[in-house]
Structure 1
Amino acid sequence: MAIQEDKPWTVPALADAKREGRRLAMLTAYDAVFARVFDRNGVDLILVGDSLGMVVKGEGSTLPVTVDDIAYHTAAVASHLTRALLVADLPFQADATPERALDAATRLLQAGAQMVKLEGAAAHKLDVIRFLVEREIPVSAHLGLTPQSVLRFGGFKVQGREERAASKLREDARAVADAGASLLVLECVPTALAQAITAASAIPTIGIGAGPHCDGQVLVLHDMLGLDGGHRRPKFVKDFLVEGGSIAGAVQAYCAAVRDGSFPDAAHAYQ
């Protein structure tokens, strides 16, 4: 198995990792210092997430986050990366049309991102994925609990527990891959469903509250460090600072647990 060590991660290398069975460790970051620590301690992918609305700006959801916000933090994070692949979120309504998504994605790639992430698999979202990929912009899809849909969902809830919803998620996972996505984040879905989607998926899956069988895992950095942001702590969160003893140690512990499959365990997954 060809293991990626010090070489910079690329989009094609993600597909290689899935094929070779190498689990991917991903964390969010929003500034240069955390980016530097993560990059030097084994994190494969870094996400500048619209989660910054909640953990950086103190908002109640991700909805107030703008393209300006994401671009600013993307540039800060990109300035200190040498190895990790940088993904940036398209915030709420930045992907409402292909043209808007192209403008936003161009700004984020020019700020230093190597891939953009968008939520959902409705017809217009699939059009956006195709539109961006045709214009040389790598895309990560995001299914399950999509935080930008919090108003429609009525809160942050596990998705895909009923068979009809599970079937729709399986269909959506195939659709985003067929549209050209290179990566798929699965958030808050039952373990067995995430396992089935991962097994059938042509592209790597990254789980957050989706059990241990995804091709990788992601956590918000504040959750990984056990920091209290004033929001309810989801079941899938684990404090790695306790066992790591330092921020660098926590990152190393997290990456090791993702790669050996010990995180997430049953206590940090949904059935």
Structure 2
Amino acid sequence: MNKKQTITSIKEAKGKEPLVMITAYDALFAKLVEPYADMILVGDSLNMSFLGKSDTLSATIEQMIYHTNAVCNGAKKSFVICDMPFGTYNTKEEALQNSIKVYKETPADAVKIEGGKDKAHIIEYLTKNGIAVVGHIGLLPQNVRSEGGYRVKGKDEIEIDELIEDAKAVEKAGAFCIVIEGVKPKAAKEVTKSVKIPTIGIGAGADTDGQVLVWSDMLGFFEEFKPKFVKRYLNGAELVKDALKNFAKEVKSREFPDEKHSY
């Protein structure tokens, strides 16, 4: 983007041009992402795609700060959001302490917190103390063990009503944006209509105010599994494998380095 987004411009995008959010974990990819993303999310998904863990739960605040700094170094004009990892916002005091740590040690513009009504008091406490917050409702990756897996939400009217209540509570608490993950399209549409702040969908259909994908999913680098909602815009892993294969072949045959690539 030519001009860095602000909380005001993000909120004003509601119902207008869809917002683009993409994850990034390092300076290299952040620089590539920056021209096309309204927001860059340093997601705790890095625990899986970057570190090879089975879920996001063991990510630490120190890891998130390290990667947030890397992203900010690569995309200095981007609106960057730091995902608050599991166990760092169990109480409002703990949430504020860790969010202040993020703000002091990185140039992050905001933090993201999973949870609806149950986390509204924490979001309110943060926003009243100068912390910008992105909410996250629906399927919550940090609840994967307590819920026995990744459960799609919004399957009936009761669940839709619960999601709407969550969204309204998060909005009232002061969040400027809400990620809606893993919900039925009808539910996401109803939630989006129910609040005045933008919604960013992931696995939530096309009627939200924007979309987010994990970079390693959308570019085809993460091969362990492919969620139904992921569209691969590049077969990244195959391209890299072909390049590595060619490099190894040329080294073995002494084709590389040749005169052109020697001093």
Per the shorter chain, which TM-score range?
0.7 to 0.9
Letter in 2 for 1:28: T
SS in 1 for 2:180: strand
Number of the residue aligned with 2:68? 74
Unaligned runs of 5+ in 2: 241-263
- How far off its partner does 1:32 sit? 0.2
Aligned partners of 1:228, 1:8: CA distance in 2, in Å?
29
Q: Which one has a bigger Cα radius of gyration?
A: 2
Number of the residue aligned with 1:7? 3
Instruction: Please tell me whether the aligned partners of residues 117 and 165 of structure 2 are also in contact (alpha carbons under 8 angstroms).
Output: no
After TM superposition, the structure 1 stretch with the greater mean CA deviation from structure 2, 163-172 or 44-53, is 163-172
Aligned partners of 1:122, 1:62: CA distance in 2, in Å?
22
Where does structure 1 differ by over 3 angstroms across 4 or more consecutive aligned residues?
none
Partner of residue 177 from structure 1, selected from 171, 176, 181: 171
Number of the residue aligned with 2:28? 33
Aligned partners of 1:78, 1:56: CA distance in 2, in Å?
17
Instruction: Please tell me whether the aligned partners of residues 48 and 74 of structure 1 are also in contact (alpha carbons under 8 angstroms).
Output: yes
How many residues are paired up? 237
Number of the residue aligned with 1:86? 80
- Tell me the alpha carbon deviations over residues 49-98 of structure 1, each in whole angstroms, 9 at most, x when there is no partner: 11011111111111000101100000100112233210011100111011
Aligned partners of 1:175, 1:129: CA distance in 2, in Å?
10
SS in 2 for 1:241: coil
Letter in 1 for 2:28: V
SS in 1 for 2:230: coil
Establish whether residue 159 from structure 1 lines up as the match of residue 143 from structure 2: no
Aligned partners of 1:23, 1:170: CA distance in 2, in Å?
20
Report the TM-score, using the length of structure 1 for normalisation: 0.84
- How far off its partner does 1:242 sit? 5.5
Aligned partners of 2:222, 2:125: CA distance in 1, in Å?
39
- How far off its partner does 1:162 sit? 2.4
Report the TM-score, using the length of structure 2 for normalisation: 0.86
Establish whether residue 101 from structure 1 lines up as the match of residue 101 from structure 2: no
Letter in 2 for 1:159: K
Partner of residue 233 from structure 1, selected from 216, 219, 226: 226
After TM superposition, the structure 1 stretch with the greater mean CA deviation from structure 2, 113-122 or 234-243, is 234-243
Aligned partners of 1:109, 1:38: CA distance in 2, in Å?
22
Number of the residue aligned with 1:139? 133
Aligned partners of 1:82, 1:68: CA distance in 2, in Å?
21
- How far off its partner does 1:106 sit? 1.4
Which of the pair has the greater relative contact order for Cα pairs under 8 Å at 6+ separation? Answer: 1
- How far off its partner does 1:122 sit? 3.9
Number of the residue aligned with 1:255? none
Aligned partners of 2:13, 2:126: CA distance in 1, in Å?
23
- How far off its partner does 1:215 sit? 0.5
Instruction: Please tell me whether the aligned partners of residues 44 and 83 of structure 1 are also in contact (alpha carbons under 8 angstroms).
Output: no
Instruction: Please tell me whether the aligned partners of residues 8 and 82 of structure 1 are also in contact (alpha carbons under 8 angstroms).
Output: no
Number of the residue aligned with 2:194? 200
Aligned partners of 1:49, 1:9: CA distance in 2, in Å?
19
Instruction: Please tell me whether the aligned partners of residues 35 and 81 of structure 1 are also in contact (alpha carbons under 8 angstroms).
Output: yes
Letter in 1 for 2:168: R
State the identity %. Answer: 41
SS in 2 for 1:184: strand
